[in-house]
Structure 1
Amino acid sequence: MTRTITLIGKPECHLCDDAREAVSRVVAGLEPAASITIEEKSILDDEALYTKYWEQIPVVLIDGEQHTFWRVDEKRLAAALTDA
């Protein structure tokens, strides 16, 4: 099963940079058989995302469902990705 992580943020956002690094570390630490796609979306490119998330960025979605915002708890993210 392929899982999709979506990172919603904006350019020049230090918290977004931190979230990207945390997500990358978590995915790198998972079993090699884990099939995970990481995509990024900017609130500056999508009015609906801006309206919904502008106060929460960065936002991490797993398979389209909001997992967290502002800070990524790496243990919690890893657990969510392995409890499919």
Structure 2
Amino acid sequence: MGRERTVTVYTRDGCHLCGDAIETVRRVSESVNHDVSLDIVDVDTDPELQERYGERVPYVLIDGRPRFKYRVDEDEFRDHLTGE
């Protein structure tokens, strides 16, 4: 099994792109030979996060590094999980 990866998705309630991003992250994570920890963070629960991200969600980090904004490309996400 590969090393553990942490994926953080900044989201907000009612964001259909966020739902799509989370679905892609889960689907790809299940298909790779790595342990993937998924953290979903609602930016509306924290004024600082709301200020930082606002409407610019979903925002996806892998191991703390920004990788995607608005949409997650399945192939590129897989490459990030398996190529580093």
4+ long deviations beyond 2 Å: none
Structure 2 CA distance, aligned partners of 1:51 and 1:3? 27
Number of residue pairs the alignment of both structures matches: 82
Structure 1 spans left out of the alignment, 5+ residues: none
Structure 2 CA distance, aligned partners of 1:6 and 1:38? 6
Which residue in the other structure is 2:39 paired with? 39
Which runs of structure 2 are paired with 1:1-84 in the superposition (5 Å)? 1-31=3-33, 34-84=34-84
Residue 71 of structure 1 and its aligned partner are, at CA, apart by 0.6
What one-letter code is carried by the residue in structure 1 that aligns with 2:76? R
Structure 1 CA distance, aligned partners of 2:64 and 2:58? 15
Cα displacement string for residues 7-59 of structure 1 (whole angstroms, at most 9, x for unaligned residues) = 1001111111111111111101112xx11100100111122221221131001
Normalised to the residue count of structure 1, the TM-score between the two structures is 0.90
- The structure with the greater share of residues assigned to helix is 2
Normalised to the residue count of structure 2, the TM-score between the two structures is 0.90
Structure 2 CA distance, aligned partners of 1:48 and 1:4? 22
